[in-house]
Amino acid sequence: MRLKDKVAIITGGGRGIGRAIAIGFAHQGAHIVVAARTESEIIEVADKVKALGRESLGIVCDISNEDQVKNLVDLTMRKFNQIDVLINNAGIGSMRPVYATQLESFEKVLKVNLTGTFLCTKHVWQPMKNSGGGSIVNVSSLGGLVGYSLLSAYCASKWGQIGFTKACAEEGKKDNIRVNAIAPGKADTGIRSKIKEDKSKMLTPEDQVDACVFLASDESRYITGQVISLEWFGEDK
């Protein structure tokens, strides 16, 4: 097992990419902390992890709220006494022209996607360092590498997330903490649910798992500050 007995916090772990990562990590031997805002989804994923013979902890958490993030880390340490992996996956989007985007809407996207990534990273850092190091994987987007029309807030947050990844990777070298990101292209997730698109040419949540397992595992122990782009190509599924 590539993640045997590692403890992984996965934000946005109740659905979509986060859910797929939680279950995929459990298959690889990790104990899973599922953090999300919807309790019923958390319970469903935590139960699946337990059914795979791994320990799980489900915590309701709004990652844009620092007190709730502190509680997430405190409860994780109380149960497991270590944090080896953080997957900053939780995110939201807002699709409208820039001239029609309200300040409140723009700031909300940044607060979850970028500030939330910062808060989770900040509060796991010391426990992770004390455990001998670890791996942080930020689930960004191709929207953090290129611009998408009607997604100015989302792209701004994801570009920021990639810059944050690279800065933290430099800080992490002395603490044995690796920080990398994946940048999925079009994926069949809730963020794109309102867009009419050919889903046969989109990534599934499960398509993201292998890259995250690799970055979370000791196989990538010499890799930090990198962004792995994930794109669908080839024949129709």
Cα separation, 73 vs 164, whole angstroms: 20
**Is residue 32, in this structure, part of any structural domain at all?**
yes
The total of structural domains in the chain comes to: 1
Asked if residue 234 lies in contact with residue 23, where contact means CB atoms within 8 angstroms, the answer is no
Residue partners of 173: CB distance under 8 A and separation at least 6: 224
- Distance of alpha carbon 109 from alpha carbon 151, whole angstroms: 10
Nearby residues of 53 by Cβ (< 8 Å), 6 or more positions away? none
**pLDDT of 191:** 52
| Structure tokens given for 167 | 């800065």
Whose CA is closest to 147, among 158, 136, 137? 158
Domain span including residue 65:
7-230
Residue 96, in any domain of the structure:
yes
Which domain CATH number covers 17? 3.40.50.720
Identify whether the C-beta of residue 85 lies closer than 8 Å to the C-beta of residue 29. no
Of the pLDDT bands very low, low, confident and very high (cuts 50, 70, 90), residue 232 is: confident
- Is residue 237 assigned to a domain? no
Out of 99, 148, 154, 222, which one is annotated catalytic?
154
Tell me, yes or no, whether 1 lies in a domain: no
Among 68, 76, 152, CA closest to 115: 68
236 domain residue, yes or no: no
Q: Per residue in 79-131, pLDDT tens?
A: 999 999 999 999 999 999 999 999 999 999 999 999 999 999 999 999 999 99
pLDDT category of residue 196 using cuts at 50, 70 and 90: low
Residue 29 lies in a domain: yes
Of 109-113, 222-226, 230-234, which range is least confident? 230-234
If you average pLDDT over every residue of the chain, what do you get? Answer: 94
Q: Is residue 235 part of a domain?
A: no
Q: What is the pLDDT of residue 237?
A: 46
Q: Which of 49-53, 58-62, 145-149, 184-188 has the lowest mean pLDDT?
A: 184-188
User: Does 154 qualify as catalytic in the annotation?
Assistant: yes
Sign, CA torsion 214/36/79/28: negative
